[in-house]
Amino acid sequence: MAEAEVEVRNPSGLHARPAAFFVRASAAFTSEVLVANLTRDATRTASAKSVLGVMGLAVSRGDRIRIAAEGTDADEAVARLSELVRSGLGEAIDGA
Amino acid sequence: MSAELRGAPAAPGVAIAPPWVYHAVAADGSSRLPLPDAARLAADEVVGIAARLREKGREAEAEIFDAQALMAEDPALHDATAALMANGTDAAAAVIQAGEAVAAAFEEIGDEILAARGADVRDVTARIARIVTGDAIPRLERRSVVVAADLPPSITVELDRELLVGIALEGGSRTSHAAILARALGIPAVVGVVGLGEAAASAAELAVDGDAGIVHLDPDAETLARLAVVAETARARAGHDAELASTDLATADGHRVTCAANVGEPADAVAAFAAGAEAIGLFRTEFAFAGRATAPDEAAQAAAYAEVLGASAGAEVVFRLADIGGDKPIPYLPLEPEANPFLGIRAIRLHDRHPELLPTQLRAILRASADAGRRASIMAAMVADEHDLDLVLRLVADARAAVPAAPAPRMGVMIEIPSAVLLADRLAPRVDFMSIGTNDLTQYLLAADRSNAALAARQDPLHPAVLRAVGRVVEAAAPTSCGVAVCGEMAADPAGALLLVGLGVDELSMEPRSFGAVKRAVGARTLPDLVALAVRAQLMPAAADVRRAVGDAS
């Protein structure tokens, strides 16, 4: 089990394109990866491999999310995904 | 000589290409494909759409489809669908319900961007449902003659026009939507070709002769040479018609009738005016709704309508309010299947279920009218009586209150339901114009399904009952200032046009490619001559007699 908390800085949060980017990256890992939007409702989690689940967390700019993984490549998954979120998921963000 | 199959000519011209066979949905909606396969096909289709949009530089739209591709194979969606199926829901209904639940959840969160994504979920689940039931949106890989039992308009508009060179249908009739579209797009077409599906399956190449109504299977050199001559003649005729563009549509003794165009897209309106249209008698706005993933919003619609008004140079443009439903389904407006869609929830009858559709469209038309500084004409389809008209006029009044800058629109109703013919004297004083949709009017009056090829002979608008109906509408309008137009296929058929002019119709609206033939036919006769012909025709036993009489007289 590995986990990390990270702030989403994308202008429109984790909607559409950044969400798709995040989900595609998550799908590369065999571990189960869960995401929660700590700013909105920390008790609701979604699979990081479900674009509908991730979008349903309604992550807006400035929200903090928790990425948790369970499985053989859990550490790698959390490290890689939180780094991707910090660097803007393929979008230009402030301070990146 | 190579083998040939005979059908009915539906759109002129010659097309030679390999066949591409389209299989329609199973009538019982039964599942044919396992859900994961259907989802993968849906994702593939959506990826293809994104790639095509990207090629055209439409990056923002392409991204929407990128997200849809992921949604199609989303594990959460599949789990929800599987759970519904375990409770006995069939696959197509289950995936739509699962998508609906996700979309509703998105909308509940109160985040505008997320709520808009709900439409994408609905769109992609509708696509999966279509594929599950076998009704895939097809993609052409090369220049093809499309072969099908019948071709729904939603499919026709999705086919790549560069690659769709000809259409050959086992079913259908001259007035089925695929035939109308084929004529509008200039694609040679033959309909009602019995045995076509089986024969085409083993043919490497088909030649569609849309003038003669013949499909040649693997045409030999001699046939190809003959068809080349036919194609050349058709081109020469088209050139001659172009010379008639600036001529009036008038009888030999100078009785003028407005020569108007039926168009489906803004670009076609520009072409129509170039071909000599004096007005757009029918702008089929539903084509702005088809072939897209989500409902066009007010601004997008207004932009499309403004383009048409901009091309009009002040000429009248009749926007027909979306005639959706029936045989023209729209992916993002889920409607339950109906046993008799032509007698079902379509056009203004959709208002109860989708109360935003008409108000949005009306505001968009008025906004375009205000922006262009031109008066728009608005026509409602499927008006059965004065209560239907009340609804339309109320919605127009609301839209005008929302867009006060727009000039007052000219208001009209389409006359296609027999009740509207019988009540035309009640409708005429309350509108600026009535436009008779003879395709639907004929099928409703004669109880002959337009999409049933076996009844093709019963769908002839030259039937004396249809002529009497037109005459009755003209009579009802006579004491008022209400104009009478005809926007069905009858107006494009020279024989039909002669009778309509004789019956006293003010405007004939048709595909621009028919202008030449109609102007030539009408220009060769005098008004008294055509009035006498129309009177006689109304007393004949059936359509075949009328056709013979008009043929003999011309």
Quick one: average pLDDT of B223-231?
A: 87
Whole-angstrom distance, CA of residue B469 vs CA of residue B67: 52
What ipTM describes this predicted complex? 0.86
Whole-angstrom distance, CA of residue B300 vs CA of residue B306: 10
Interface test with B, best of A22, A51, A63 (most B CBs within 10 A): A51
Q: Answer whether A39 touches B (CB < 8 Å).
A: no
User: For residue range B411-451, what is the model confidence (pLDDT) as tens digits?
Assistant: 999 999 999 999 999 999 999 999 999 999 999 999 998 87
pLDDT beyond 50 at A86: yes
Checking B343-347 for CB contacts under 8 A at 24+ apart, the result is B346/B381, B346/B382, B347/B321, B347/B322, B347/B323, B347/B380, B347/B381, B347/B382
> Which residue, among B121, B262, B274, B281, has the nearest Cα to B183 in the 3D structure?
B262
Least confident of B266-275, B462-471, B544-553: B266-275
Report CA-CA distances (Å) from B217 to B77, B163, B220, B413, B546.
46, 19, 9, 45, 35
Enter the tokens of residue B468: 């009497």
Enter the tokens of residue B351: 């208002």
DSSP state of B408: P
Interface test with B, best of A37, A52, A54, A89 (most B CBs within 10 A): A52
Whole-angstrom distance, CA of residue B121 vs CA of residue B77: 10
**Hey, are the CB atoms on A58 and B109 less than 8 Å from each other?**
yes
The strand pair at B258-263 and A2-7 is best described as unpaired
Q: Answer whether A47 touches B (CB < 8 Å).
A: yes
Spatial CB neighbours of B283, under 8 Å, sequence gap ≥ 6: B263, B264, B269, B305, B308, B317, B318, B319, B320
> Which residue, among B456, B470, B481, has the nearest Cα to B504 in the 3D structure?
B470
Whole-angstrom distance, CA of residue B251 vs CA of residue B521: 9
CB-CB neighbors (< 8 A) of A20 in chain B: 66-67, 70
**Hey, are the CB atoms on A12 and B63 less than 8 Å from each other?**
no
Q: Answer whether A15 touches B (CB < 8 Å).
A: yes
CB-CB neighbors (< 8 A) of A16 in chain B: 63-64, 67, 113, 117
**Hey, are the CB atoms on A49 and B75 less than 8 Å from each other?**
yes
pLDDT of residue B28: 44
Per-residue pLDDT band at B365 (split at 50, 70, 90): very high
Let me know the angle formed at the C-alpha of B514 by B509 and B515, rounded to the nearest 5 degrees. Answer: 70
Let me know the angle formed at the C-alpha of B248 by B499 and B365, rounded to the nearest 5 degrees. Answer: 85
Enter the tokens of residue B425: 């004297």
Shortest distance between the Cα of A2 and any Cα of chain B, in A, equals 22
Q: What is the rounded end-to-end Cα distance, in angstroms, of chain B?
A: 35
Q: What is the Cβ-side half-sphere exposure of residue B138, based on CA atoms within 13 angstroms?
A: 27
Amino acid, res. B230: V
Facing residue for B114 by CB, picked from A15, A23, A49: A15
CB-CB neighbors (< 8 A) of A26 in chain B: none
User: For residue range B457-509, what is the model confidence (pLDDT) as tens digits?
Assistant: 888 999 999 999 999 999 999 999 999 999 999 999 999 999 999 999 999 99
**Among residues of chain B, what percentage have pLDDT more than 70?**
92
Per-residue pLDDT band at B295 (split at 50, 70, 90): confident
The domains located in chain B, with CATH, are: 4-24+138-239 (3.50.30.10), 35-132 (1.10.274.10), 256-553 (3.20.20.60)
pTM over 0.90: no
Shortest distance between the Cα of B89 and any Cα of chain A, in A, equals 22
Let me know the angle formed at the C-alpha of B402 by B400 and B405, rounded to the nearest 5 degrees. Answer: 65
What b/e sequence results for B180-193 when a residue is b if at least 16 CB atoms lie within 10 Å of its CB, and e otherwise? bbbbbbebbbbbbb
What b/e sequence results for B374-401 when a residue is b if at least 16 CB atoms lie within 10 Å of its CB, and e otherwise? bebbbbbbbbbeeebbebbeebbeebbe
pLDDT of residue A12: 81
B482 part of the active site: no
CA B290 to chain centre: 10
Q: In what order do the strands lie in the sheet with B189-191?
A: B8-11, B189-191, B164-169, B144-148, B19-22
Shortest distance between the Cα of B64 and any Cα of chain A, in A, equals 7
The domains located in chain A, with CATH, are: 2-86 (3.30.1340.10)
Q: Answer whether B182 touches A (CB < 8 Å).
A: no
Catalytic residue, from B177, B216, B351, B463: name it.
B177
Q: Three-class SS of residue B505?
A: coil
Whole-angstrom distance, CA of residue B240 vs CA of residue B494: 16
DSSP state of A84: H
Whole-angstrom distance, CA of residue B512 vs CA of residue B491: 11
Shortest distance between the Cα of B76 and any Cα of chain A, in A, equals 6
Q: Do residues B186 and B264 lie in contact, with contact meaning Cβ atoms separated by under 8 Å?
A: no
User: For residue range B94-108, what is the model confidence (pLDDT) as tens digits?
Assistant: 999 999 999 998 888
